[in-house]
Amino acid sequence: MNTLSLSDLSVTRDTLHQRVAARLRELLIQGTLQPGAKLNERELCEILGVSRTPLREAIRLLAAEGMVVLEAGRGAFVPVLTREDIAGAFDVLASLEGLAGEQAAQRITDEELAELRALQHEMQAAFERRDLPTYYGLNARAHDLFSQAARNPVLREIWGQLNSRMHALRFRSNQDETKWMHALNEHAQILAALQKHDAVAARQLLEQHLRRKRDAVLEHLATVYPKTAAQ
């Protein structure tokens, strides 16, 4: 008769709270959980079909990523970011992704280029269907691949932490169709630079791409959350 070891139980538990964290990220990214909202543990347990222990572990994981804020005696909340917070974060992201693009152009593999070409094709198809959730997932994978292809562990770690905080804002700002199409075209230009192993162009294109995203996010917030955006 086979028995589970303590290490087996630990892996199973970790997998559960990581799955819960992944689902909570989706709710945050899609705007289901709005800025300033408190995370109601009872409701979330019912929605996700889990007990409070893995939910709380997932919330702590998201708090470490900066996606939620823990307040002593009050619980967990969706963070409310000021214009200065958002602009500053995107400026840093632009520099990080620019460096990633420069290094990726020098180090990217044929397999990674093939995956980026496939992602670009799928992003185009999602745009033509006006399927924003699918497009965002593909877009996020492309940016993750830029970071991966840089072969710079320190850059990837810092980028990953900051990018997690900006996920929800990056998703909602693409609801403007003209900006969405422009962003898709920028991805095509970034791919072309990487295929040519043009480090200078890859860096410049990614920095411009993130700064345009910054401006789109701030413009969107000024319309949807005027009080928050004005802080």
Contact present, 37 and 77 (Cβ < 8 Å): yes
Write out pLDDT tens, residues 105-163.
Answer: 999 999 999 999 999 999 999 999 999 889 988 999 999 999 999 999 999 999 998 98
Residues in the chain: 231
What is the rounded distance in angstroms from the CA atom of residue 73 to the CA atom of residue 76? 10
What is the rounded distance in angstroms from the CA atom of residue 153 to the CA atom of residue 150? 8
Exposed (0-12), middle (13-18) or buried (19+): which is 231, by Cβ within 10 Å?
exposed
Write out pLDDT tens, residues 158-174.
Answer: 999 898 888 777 766 66
What is the rounded distance in angstroms from the CA atom of residue 129 to the CA atom of residue 135? 10
What is the rounded distance in angstroms from the CA atom of residue 11 to the CA atom of residue 17? 10
Residue 35 half-sphere exposure toward CB, CA atoms < 13 A: 17
What is the rounded distance in angstroms from the CA atom of residue 179 to the CA atom of residue 228? 22
Helix, coil or strand: residue 108: coil
Q: Which residue type does 127 have?
A: F
Task: Give the CA radius of gyration of the chain.
Answer: 19
Backbone angles phi, psi at 82, to 5 degrees: -85, 170
Write out pLDDT tens, residues 65-112.
Answer: 888 999 998 999 998 888 999 999 999 999 999 999 999 999 999 999
The DSSP line for 44-83 is HHHHHT--HHHHHHHHHHHHHHTSSEEETTTEEE-----H
Write out pLDDT tens, residues 24-41.
Answer: 988 887 778 888 899 999
